[in-house]
Structure 1
């Protein structure tokens, strides 16, 4: 994955970490529960310049798992789920 700052330079590492957690972790983070189309969405602050096609379905699956764990009141990290 490659992120760029809004000014075209390297993205803020803290924002990259938050977005990576949104995409690849199922923990219910406040940032993950904000609609990605909302003006205050973290993902809008650092444009994604490149996203490998192979990771798209992984990210999508994680987001579905996050929704399920949130709806069920479970607080589980993705590492615990992947460890299986």
Structure 2
């Protein structure tokens, strides 16, 4: 699987976990040079608090386009150390 935005592969791995149609990539498969820390957070009753990254590719920013669960709830433990994408990021 690849996560692609703005023509650039942001993450690539055959080891993704799919939850509600979203592919969660291992952190080690994500090209960190394209990630910017974000202060944005959301809460999921089943997974816990999500933190976000914005993407920066060729001078273009996609705010809060990647998310992860630093301390997922026990029921979502398989998401620990994984990152998912949205907001125009193609996963194929």
TM-score (norm 2): 0.24
Higher relative contact order (CA 8 A, sep 6+): 1
Q: Which has the higher helix share?
A: 1
User: In terms of Rg, which structure is larger?
Assistant: 1
The structure with more strand, counted as a fraction of residues: 2
